[in-house]
Amino acid sequence: MSDRPLEGLSAVVTGGAKGIGLAVARRLRDEGADLVLMGRDTAALEAAAETLDCSHAVADVTDTATLEHAFALIGHFDILVNNAGGALTKPFGKLEPGDWNAMLALNLTAAYHTCRLALPGMLARRWGRIVNIASTAGLKGYAYASAYCAAKHGLVGLTRALALETAKTGVTVNAVCPGFTDTDLVQRAAEVIEARTGRSVEEARAHFAGYNPQERLIQPDEVADAVAFLCRREAAAMTGQSLIVAGGEVM
């Protein structure tokens, strides 16, 4: 296999400025893809795009109008990685309707919109790769994360249904489901635990790592490896799958 298996292909990565998104973008670039990073944090996005020497588009994936405008400017692309997302932890009894709606908008409805915008071109060319960054929370439950779990379960369901609809078209649709990953999201969650309980950030991070039988946090590059595999031309038979990157937490 070529060391640049994505040569000649173009990719859009949402939430591409930090964490898993940035690791995925770097890996796709290293494998030869032309990149467009998408995100709402202009400064972080510009810095990431400069580091990777690639294009970027500022857009909030929960804002349909700006999202449509950004995709219109981007034009043709072959690979879509839906990475933008976020988590909220609250006991269900304290979960407000606004919290619920925000979690679904960011983690599920945004992917509906990006897929809706990406698919016509992919179907016309009879080739495409869509990879949705879900979570182990899309395959199991976690206490105090009901809205996030519901959204990620929905994203896995969307992946499976869309994979069946596109099975004969040359387009594949898959999900990657990381466990707790060493990103800003986990760091912020650890800081919230420290503020609420008095446990240290280090203890909170160890708690998250404890979900993994390997007793460690997943690294963003490990998630990027799974995404890159699904994007390759050689992965044509992989569709409707949920690749779990979690050290054995979910089997």
Please count the residues of the chain.
Answer: 251
148 is catalytic: yes
CA 163-167-170 angle, to 5 degrees, is 110
Q: What is the 3-state secondary structure (H, E, C) of the chain?
A: CCCCCCCCCEEEEECCCCHHHHHHHHHHHHCCCEEEEEECCHHHHHHHHHHHCCEEEECCCCCHHHHHHHHHHHCCCCEEEECCCCCCCCCHHHCCHHHHHHHHHHHHHHHHHHHHHHHHHHHHHCCEEEEEECCHHHCCCCCCCHHHHHHHHHHHHHHHHHHHHCCCCCEEEEEEEECCECCHHHHHHHHHHHHHHCCCHHHHHHHHHCCCCCCCCECHHHHHHHHHHHHCHHHCCCCCCEEEECCCCCC
Active-site residue among 112, 142, 144, 148?
A: 148
Catalytic residues: 148
